[in-house]
Amino acid sequence: MKTAIFKVEEWMNEYEKYSLFDLGNTTVQNLSLDELFEIANENKQNYLNNICSQKLGYGYIKGYPKLKEGISKLYKTLSQDDIIPTIGAAGANHLVFYSLVEPTDRVISVIPTYQQLYSIPQSFGADVQYLHLTQENKFLPDINELKELVTSNTKLICLNNPNNPTGSLIPEKKLLEIIEIAKSVNAYILSDEVYRGLNQTDEYTLSVADLYEKGISVCSMSKVFSLAGLRLGWIASKNKDVIESCIHHREYNMISCSIIDECIAALALQNADKIIKRNKKIIRECLSILDDWVQTQKHFSYIKPQAGTTALIYYDFDMTSKELCDKLAKGKGVFLTPGFCFETEHCFRVGYCKNPEELKNGLQKIREFIQESNLE
């Protein structure tokens, strides 16, 4: 079966070239290697010499132990054996579906979310049902709706926590309720947690992999650690069947990760606290800029994000999200992501964790556009 066009990625590929003000990407001010060495207090020359002397074999097939040690510390109850490195979280999500989903299965996915979570299981012939996140419920899953959707053939419930594009964060009590529903039909929960820890307040966010024996956490170096260019992610689960099946299927499409990526990711994870502290400061400063802007706008509104790097902004005039974002990109150089990429309308996604000046200037350009278009 064919896989649907990946709307967000296709939009970004097409419109990034107009970007003078990048409010499209979802990372937190990406790090260079130089910046990473500085944060890690690492001697650059020694580090590079060490990498250069390594033979470029396949490395550790199941992942570099130091990397897996660093990843396991991001969880409360997981060990190295519970981790499988992958090519980004994109590779991790794909591998979970490829390893677990059969055409006879039902898969339930929150929506809006990263399209992988519903389009890949659809491409494997599964019966995919949507669990709607709406403004009315503050973009949190509705427990009653989920209860109605689960069936005895439900294989997976897919969450994205914190959520892209809305920035909602599922409170622990609700997460436990979702786990109880999953247990009632013996379903796995796949939680895409690529923004976990990027919270607006200081409370610790538990992973589904710590809370549920059939919980599967997907994460990566891309957002929380600002190292998307490493293309390094992982699957984490205490469930041995999941780990075994993913290892088995991984032989067919990747064998192992790049040993250089694994090595650099391990260094970053040894300095996880410092990088997360840097990134929390950025996301909080940037959200306060966005929030000040939204509060002064007549035509825009949003549910303020609790976490992550994105917000979904709604507008009240009559224009499709595609037309609005096209005009803003081509006319003003403001790169946004239209709501239609998330199967929703009259809204766009802002990736707000940028350089503050770029963010302010981009928002000012949106304002200018509204005035010039007589939408006031």
Ligand X SMILES: Cc1ncc(COP(=O)(O)O)c(C=O)c1O
Q: Which residues contribute to the site for ligand X (CB under 6 A)? A: 26, 88-90, 114, 160, 164, 192, 194, 220, 222, 228, 233
In angstroms, give the least distance from the CB of 256 to ligand X: 17
Q: Which residue is nearest to ligand X (CB)?
A: 88
Token representation of residue 166: 């809305």
Q: Which candidate, 185, 142, 130, places its Cα nearest to that of 344?
A: 130
Minimum CB distance to ligand X smaller for 192 or for 262: 192
Report whether 182 contacts 212 (CB < 8 A): yes
In angstroms, give the least distance from the CB of 188 to ligand X: 17
Minimum CB distance to ligand X smaller for 199 or for 332: 199
In angstroms, give the least distance from the CB of 291 to ligand X: 21
In angstroms, give the least distance from the CB of 319 to ligand X: 26
Minimum CB distance to ligand X smaller for 117 or for 329: 117
Minimum CB distance to ligand X smaller for 12 or for 78: 12
| Distance set, CA 373 to CA 15, 317, 340 (Å) | 21, 11, 22
Helix (H, G, I), strand (E, B) or coil at 80: helix
Report whether 61 contacts 254 (CB < 8 A): no
Minimum CB distance to ligand X smaller for 187 or for 230: 230
Q: Residue written as tokens 């610790």?
A: 204
Q: Is the dihedral of CA 254, 260, 261, 266 positive or negative?
A: positive
Which residues, listed in sequence order, are joined to residue 85 by a DSSP beta bridge? Answer: 234
CA distance 338 to 319: 11
In angstroms, give the least distance from the CB of 131 to ligand X: 15
